[in-house]
Structure formats: C-alpha cells, structure tokens
Amino acid sequence: MHLASMTGFGRAQGAISERLTASVVVRSVNHKFLDIVVRTNVRDEVPELEAAVRSAVAEGLERGRVTVQVDFERTAPQPVRAVVNSDAVAVIAGQLADLQLSENVTGNLAVGDLLAIPGLVSIETTAVSPQPEEAIGLGALTTEAVAAMMVMRHAEADALVRQIRSDLGTIEEFLDWFEPQVGELRDLIFVRLQDRLAELVGVGSAIEPERQVQEAAVLADRADVSEELVRLRSHLAGFVGRLDEGGAVGRPLDFMCQEILRELNTLGSKCRELGVAERLVDAKAALEKVREQVQNLE
C-alpha cells in the first residue's frame, strides 16, 4: 500500500442534480485521529448532504483533520411565493377611503398603490428538501476531491520517506561504529571501575585485591550494552519493514521511535566513554528528525 502524508488539498466541481451544481474543496492537516469538519454556503442545515460528504471522506482517509467546504449553486430558479397581508391591506384601504371623504380628496386608489406600501407584501422562498440523487452526486464529487488530494499526499509522503531513510542511515552508521568497540569499551569500563574501587577503599583496606577485581567485573558486566544493541537492530529492522508495508503506519512508527529512543538513552547511561557521547548525540538528533517526519505520515 502506498504511504500518504496528512497534508493535502483537493477540489472537484460538477452537477449533482438538475437544479444544483456543487464545488467541493477538501483540505487536511496533521491529527492523531480522523476529524472531519463540513462547511456549506447555505443557511439551513442539510444533514443528509453532510452525511454523504463525511462518508466519502471516511472511506478514503484514516487520519488527519479534514475540512470540507461545499458551495452549492442553483441551475434552475428557486421556487418562491408572494404573501400579501390582506388584513393590513383592508385596514389601510379603509383609512384612505375615510381620508378621501373627510378631506374631500379626489382621485382613484389603485391596488398597486396599496401594494407599494412596505410590509404589505413579502416574498418567501419555498423550502426544498435535498433529494437522494443529490446526496449520491455530492458523495461522488467528494470522493473525486479526496482522490485529487491523495495525489498530493502521496507525493509528499515519498519525500518524507526519503528523508526518514536518510536519517535512519545515520543511526545505523552509529551502530556500525559502536558494535566493533563493545569489547574494548567493556575493558575500559572494567579498568575505570577497578581504579574507582581502589580509591574508595584506600590503601591498607581489608578488602582483598581479588575481591575488588570481582566487584569491578560485576559492575562492568551490568554496564554491558550488548542487549541494547540487539534490540536497537531489531527495532530498526522492524521500523523499515513497517515503512515498506505502506498504508497507515504513522502511529505505529511513532511508537517505534519511542522504543528506539529508550534503547539509545539506556546505552548512553551505561557507556559514558570518550567519543561515544558525541556520536550518540548525532544518532539521537537523527532519530528526532525521523519522529518529526513520521508524525506527518497517515
């Protein structure tokens, strides 16, 4: 399966029925889970259409904060009706007639004169419920927009993977340098501990030199990092394997980065010899870069 980043953009536009066309714009950014936000350019809620959009997005994506902007445009006139306040018209007509009689006002009163008075006539839009075929059409448009976005997400993931493999190579180079020196470093640790014990017990101590050597050997054995190296190699191999599998591997790889960091920290705490710390810092810096890139993967 192809890897994908969580950052992308896609657009699709077309007719979803004889009366409506729609424009769908899909944007996504990083998020631990799949979080979908649907916005439209209509005042009233259209849950049937929003459900179609959410379903299409969820079918194509597994992670990311996804914002979908849907703009509808009518291709046929919207049904409207005129509402006349007949009671108010009758009242006003009566008042005008009384005025004509009392003031000797002459002239004919036309209906148009009355209707021109503000508030007597209102235009109402007839509510039209979304049709099933419109939900289907909008879902298809959303799928098309998501597919366009995935092209961008796949391309970005390819760049991320190249950087991840390069940084993993830095960690492997550290292990290749470190492993051949494990025996020598263990001897250095043994000598250092033996000298330290001799300083602590002092000259004329009742502790025999052989016992001091044994204690130093035990402490040196505890400082052995062979197991950490084996686990590091295993974690790196597992990491590359999951990366090669593709799909939604972002979260598993993030957890694996934590395991690799734990082993590097243990190795650093056990082995503080000259030269190791400097190279270990470079390996941990490379791992931090890997983790940053992994957190961008779906």
pLDDT at residue 198 above 70?
Answer: no
Residues 189-198, mean pLDDT to the nearest whole number = 65
What integer pLDDT is reported at residue 95 of this predicted model?
Answer: 72
Fold of 8-77+130-152: Ribosomal Protein S5; domain 2 (3.30.230)
What integer pLDDT is reported at residue 217 of this predicted model?
Answer: 53
Question: Among candidates 54, 61, 6, which has minimal Cα distance to 28?
Answer: 6
What integer pLDDT is reported at residue 114 of this predicted model?
Answer: 64
At 224 the three-state DSSP class reads coil
Least confident of 5-14, 116-125, 142-151: 116-125
Query: Domain coordinates of the chain in residue numbers?
Result: 8-77+130-152, 80-125, 155-294
165, 293 Cβ separation under 8 angstroms: no
What integer pLDDT is reported at residue 226 of this predicted model?
Answer: 79
Residues 136, 37: Cα–Cα separation, whole Å:
19
Residues 272, 189: Cα–Cα separation, whole Å:
9
Better-predicted residue by pLDDT, 23 or 89: 23
Q: Structure pTM?
A: 0.70
pLDDT-derived band at 278, boundaries 50, 70, 90: confident
Question: Among candidates 101, 26, 91, which has minimal Cα distance to 64?
Answer: 26
Q: How many CB atoms lie within 10 A of CB 12?
A: 19
pLDDT at residue 18 above 90?
Answer: no
pLDDT at residue 260 above 90?
Answer: yes
Residues 36-46, mean pLDDT to the nearest whole number = 88
Q: Where are the beta strands (DSSP E) in 109-153?
A: 121-125
Average pLDDT, the chain: 82
pLDDT at residue 103 above 60?
Answer: no
pLDDT-derived band at 219, boundaries 50, 70, 90: low
pLDDT at residue 141 above 60?
Answer: yes
Query: How does pLDDT run across 267-276, given as a tens digit for each residue?
Result: 887 776 657 8
81, 87 Cβ separation under 8 angstroms: no
Residues 89, 117: Cα–Cα separation, whole Å:
9
